[in-house]
Amino acid sequence: MNSEPDYHNTALKFADGDIPSGKMAWRSPSNIALVKYWGKKPVQIPQNPSISFTLSKSYSETEVSYSPAVSGSLEMEFYFDGQRNSVFEEKTANFFQSLSDVFPFVNQLKFIIRSQNTFPHSAGIASSASGMSVLAMILCDMERQLFSTLKNDVDFRRKASFIARLGSGSASRSVYGGLVIWGETEVVSGTSDLYGFPMNEEIHEIFTRYQDTILLVDAGEKKVSSRVGHGLMNSNPYAGERFKQAHENLSELLQAMRDGDTATFIRITESEALTLHAMMMTSQPYFLLMKPNTLQIIERIFTFREKTGLPVSFTLDAGPNVHMLYPAAIKAEVKQFIEDELVSFLSPLGFIDDEVGKGPEKIL
């Protein structure tokens, strides 16, 4: 069991009459889990460890302007894609408010937040991962700049990941580039239920440039949120076995990724995707996020792999879109496969040609 790092700090407050104004902006990517997080305990503690690739082109870009709050408590305006957005405004204000013990300065400021995504939100492309991790980076960067703390990058990232997790579990993994574990596993020391842990130094070169083409089957808002989905695991009769299996899968997957063993990588990641959706189908009430075209694409991937022997596989997030995973060396063959066999199953938004990325970036 990890003990909670003590991030409560009453000193992170401005003296009266000395409240600054300023602006900063960060870009933070989404991530795709290979071993899935599905089921949690309070407060945002995962029921099993998960591991993900941080993406490159699917990101949120957020600019925060801050100035002294005239009311003497937190004020916020939130603009998404240039439009004031009351849902995101309330969610973000509540999130900031919940962090008052960690960042007491939030109550002294007015925030004007402008955010946009490079991909459709609420379509199961983990928009909460990029959206919450970018806010965590900004809050920690504000602390670093305005209070001269968090000078060490390890401390900075760890705190950002801890904060991101409180916003959305999967966001804890987006604070780092490459392959990231969130959740304590005995096979990697340093892992924690409280923050993500980057794994990059240990994996085979083939996985450092892995491709993820996100095939957008349906980019509409999904009917069951991940929050509700996680909650339904509390009464799912298969949950206990599933949590145990995730530990085993993570251990075996890591070894395969160290060895460059794509066959084992494919077997485990595809099984994880189908198990995630099986958990949805066996919850009460049950629900289904895959669409007919999700299955059409999966079938085509199976056949293509059998026919060509190429290591192309799929995973799914909490939505109908298919993440097609493959090594960079076979990009041209996969492009042809998409054009020949898959485009007819896609929504008008088509696909996002993504790949493993380096993690958040400061842009202002």
Binding-site ranges for ligand 2P0 (CB under 6 A)? 33, 36-38, 44, 50, 126, 128, 168-170, 226-227, 230, 276, 317-318
Question: Least distance from C-beta 177 to ligand 2P0, angstroms?
Answer: 16
Residue type, 314: F
* DSSP symbols for 109-150: EEEEEEEEESS-TTSSS-HHHHHHHHHHHHHHHHHHHHH---
Identify which of residues 39 and 327 has a Cβ nearer to ligand 2P0 in the complex. 39
Q: Kindly provide the residue ranges of all beta strands, DSSP E only, lying in the chain, ordered along the sequence.
A: 22-35, 40-41, 45-46, 50-68, 75-80, 83-84, 109-117, 179-182, 196-198, 211-215, 313-316, 322-326, 351-355, 361-362
Q: How far is CA 344 from CA 53, 216, 263, 340, in A?
A: 27, 11, 28, 9
36 vs 300 by CB, closer to ligand 2P0 = 36
Q: Is the separation of the CB atoms in 364 and 223 below 8 Å? A: no
Are 59 and 355 contacting, i.e. CB atoms less than 8 angstroms apart? no
170/262 with CB nearer ligand 2P0: 170
CB 137 within 8 A of CB 157: no
Q: 224 is written with which tokens?
A: 């069951």
Angle among Cα 165, 181, 131 to the nearest 5 degrees reads 35
Q: For the CB of residue 266, give the shortest distance to ligand 2P0 in the complex, in Å.
A: 18
Q: With respect to ligand 2P0, which residue has the nearer C-beta, 60 or 108?
A: 60
Cβ atoms of 170 and 28 closer than 8 Å: no
Q: Kindly state the smallest distance separating residue 167's Cβ from ligand 2P0, in Å.
A: 7
Min. distance of Cβ 196 from ligand 2P0 in angstroms?
A: 11
Quote the least distance from Cβ 289 to ligand 2P0, whole Å: 9
Nearer to ligand 2P0, 105 or 210 (CB): 210
Cα dist from 49 to 90, 188, 210, 249, whole Å: 30, 11, 21, 10
Instruction: CB nearer to ligand 2P0: give 38 or 337.
Output: 38
Residue among 75 and 317 whose Cβ is closer to ligand 2P0: 317
